Amino acid sequence: MPVKGVTHRYPDRALWYLSHVCAVYCRFCTRKRKVSQSSQTPDGEDWKQALEYFKSRPEIREVILSGGDPLNLSDSKLDFLLSELKRIPHINQVRIHTRYPVTLPMRITPEFCAVLRRHFPVFIVTHFNHPKELTDFSREKIRMLVQDGSATVLNQSVLLKGINDSVETLVELFYGLTSAGIKPYYLHHCDEVYGSAHFRVPISKGVELMKSIRGRISGLCVPLYVVDLTGGGGKVPLPAEYLEEEKSSSYVFRNYRGDLYEIGY
């Protein structure tokens, strides 16, 4: 964290914490130690230092607005911050991570969408974990983001034991997201967070779920299953292995149904 509110872990992108307030506090949140702590929230002077840092680092191609929830800020403040970021020539894109389409959908207004249009392209990453969260009201607001705000909308989910750790629930969720105009982006292995161990699904089960899902739904609906390495190691994908055997002149694969197929070099 080179300046308050900024995490620069990957070479080409930086995470900017703009708020530590959310509409709903998730029990599995990896930042629960910070939420509702006013001393943790960057102020105007911190914003200036962050913007100067971004300007001084030409390797930064993307800034991710996060929190808490950045949509806790007013439209005018978001408009200002997006304007400042878009003035930095080496920043290729801005991403906004928000759970408000789930927890406070009425925050998505025509005025907010007008802000997004002024700074096209903006990428919005939502956080739906279960098909029941895709209410008619949430769908209406996502449509507004896509059509009136001209935003590209993606989704990250957390794999949660007893909540969405079944093929049937995940298929319904991922198809529901795409039907609402949202691209499933990440399925996160639940982080190591105090008090949430009962939500954690074994990685081996998560991989098997992804293998079962891939052949049953469109590739457009399949997110990347990832784990965020404790201690600042960053996200790594958890690939599903389909190659069963490599022979002298052929490969043997097992598909999503469990059937074996052999192909030549």
By annotation, the residues acting in catalysis are: 9-10, 13, 22, 26, 29, 31, 191, 228, 235
User: Residue 195: left (phi > 0), alpha (psi -120 to 50), or beta?
Assistant: left
Order of all β-strands in the sheet with 122-126: 6-10, 13-17, 62-66, 93-97, 122-126, 152-159, 183-189, 224-229, 234-237
- How far CA 78 is from CA of 60, 71, 122, in Å, comes to 20, 8, 12
* Residue that the structure tokens 């962050």 belong to: 50
The torsion angle over the Cα atoms of residues 60, 19, 95 and 85, rounded to 10 degrees, is: -50
Largest CA distance in the chain: 64
Q: What is the C-alpha separation between 114 and 80, in angstroms, rounded?
A: 13
Pairing of strands 13-17, 6-10: antiparallel
Nearest by Cα to 20 from 95, 73, 79: 73
HSE (CB half, 13 Å, CA atoms) of 223?
30
3-state secondary structure of 48: helix
